[in-house]
A and B are shown apart, each in its own frame.
Chain A
Amino acid sequence: MEDAHGVLSNALAVVAHERDHQAQTARLRRVVDESFDFVWRVLRRMGVPSRDADDAAQQCFLVVARRLKEIEEGRERAFLFQTAIRVARNEHRSARRRREDGEQKLSAIVDPAGGPEDIIEQKWARRTLDALLATMPDEQRAAFVLFELEGLTLRETADVLGVPQGTAASRVRKARQHYDRRVRRLRERIGNGGSR
């Protein structure tokens, strides 16, 4: 009798384990379906070159897969975002060097002194945006990417960043000021280039 009870308990445990595994698999699949593009875009806007973005995105989801049971339901996107930020950082040089390179690239844009004239509009815009983002401190950049580019609300931005709303609002505002300053200079250079 005890043996039968033991066998039954084991069988029930196996079934429960299998159900749990299937639920986790379904959850992981859902997370990938819902968030893959978002993670990929975040990686790109945080400076990962397009040739590395696929692998970097895959890395993020491998991390999520390993940690899925620890991640609260509904918090997957926040976890993914934070993972993406770290992965992007790992791919790059120091924050200071990133910003310096960004400034250099941004100042080289619309150089009336020379350079190839044949550009493709979207490529130009993307590279300009990436150079501009590279000049931002990482915290502001992350907030800008979420709020201005991905269109999250302030509350969602704070949630994904894992900070209070006030902190998120402050970062968004500073990022906006930074953006406005750089774009103003860009407009001036475009204007100067046109008048020659």
Chain B
Amino acid sequence: MTEPRRILDDDPDELDLLLLGAGTEEAPSSRAKQRTLLALGLAVGTAALGAKVGTGLTGGKAVGSLPVALFAKLTGVGVVAGGLAVGAAAVFTSMSEEPTARNTPAVSAWLQEPSSTPVASASTVSASEEEGLEAPPTVASAERKVRLAPAEPAPRVPVPVESSEPAPTNALAEELDLVERARAHLQAGRARDALRLLDRRDADHPRGVLGIEATVLRVEALVQLGDRAAARSIGEAFLKRHPRSPLAPRVRQAVGRVPSKAEGEPR
């Protein structure tokens, strides 16, 4: 069968390159992947924690001068008064937003609280909400890797390592370590030890990125200890705030609510 010709192989112009490039250059932050690994219970400590920093969306070009340059590039016409007018605010929001925090190619950029706003139900999401401030997931900077002191992979019936190893050198790694060790304690039936580590995580990383995962573990630990009232209180607050979180089914199960139907599974 004859393979269709791709746009990129078919004499693309500047606009084609711009549009297709936008589709391929966007990349998730490395913390997104780490959170997924954590949610899956996979060991994260042994992997080099890479801060993959791609070509993101923060641009860096001066606002105001670009439309004209873009326009000239696309049309071959010289500078034209008025430049390139862009659609209404409903389409392009807050052009002045410059996520400078995310422009900082440092671990501190990972310490921002992950988006915890509940995903609106299908019937209430409006176009302007959907097209709201979309923070670029990566920062435009040189690639940087942050290495952890190698840690043991979490065993199936784990004995958590109360570390005599040198402390990890960045906040995200520390937070990951605490949460992962708490999980290991919980799996081994040591709920009190798990809660102790989660308390430490809350105190040391009040604005950490693993708040959701830590809360879910806390609920499970409280259930294990028999403190159903506290588990339910925290669990219900979590479900109210994050009804569609991927971890919501675990919380529902822990507090004894009817588990929700798993979404998105191919039949």
Contact = CB atoms under 8 A, between A and B. Distances in A.
Given A119-B86, A173-B4, A32 B265 contact: no
Interface residues of A, number: 89
Interface string B35-48: 11101101100000
Nearest to B250: A62
B169 to A, nearest CB: 23
Contacts of A193: 71, 82, 84-85
Interface of B: 1, 3-4, 6-8, 15-16, 18-29, 32-33, 35-37, 39-40, 42-43, 55-59, 61, 63-64, 66-67, 70-71, 74-75, 77, 80, 82-92, 95-96, 114-115, 117, 119, 122-123, 125, 127, 130-137, 156, 244-246, 262-266
**Interface SS of B by simple majority:** loop
Interface string A154-196: 1000000000011001001100100100010011001101111
Contacts of B125: 92-93
The 6 A-B pairs of least Cβ separation, nearest first, read A108-B87, A125-B22, A120-B59, A59-B246, A40-B28, A118-B63
Contacts of A119: 63, 66-67, 70, 84, 86, 92, 95
A87 B263 CA distance: 7
A148 interface: yes
Contact of B90 (A60, A83, A108, A148): A108
Nearest to A107: B87
Contacts of A21: 156
A119 B55 CA distance: 17
Contact of A176 (B4, B21, B26): B4
A62 B7 CA distance: 34
Contact of B131 (A32, A44, A127, A128): A127
Nearest to B265: A63
Nearest to A111: B87
B74 to A, nearest CB: 6
Given A18-B156, A129-B20, A194-B84, 6 more contacts: A83-B266, A86-B264, A91-B119, A105-B131, A110-B87, A126-B57
Given A29-B42, A45-B23, A51-B135, A118 B67 contact: yes
Interface string A66-97: 11000000000001001100110011110000
B246 A58 contact: yes
Contacts of A145: 23
Contact of B86 (A18, A45, A109, A122): A109
B134 A104 contact: no
B40 to A, nearest CB: 5
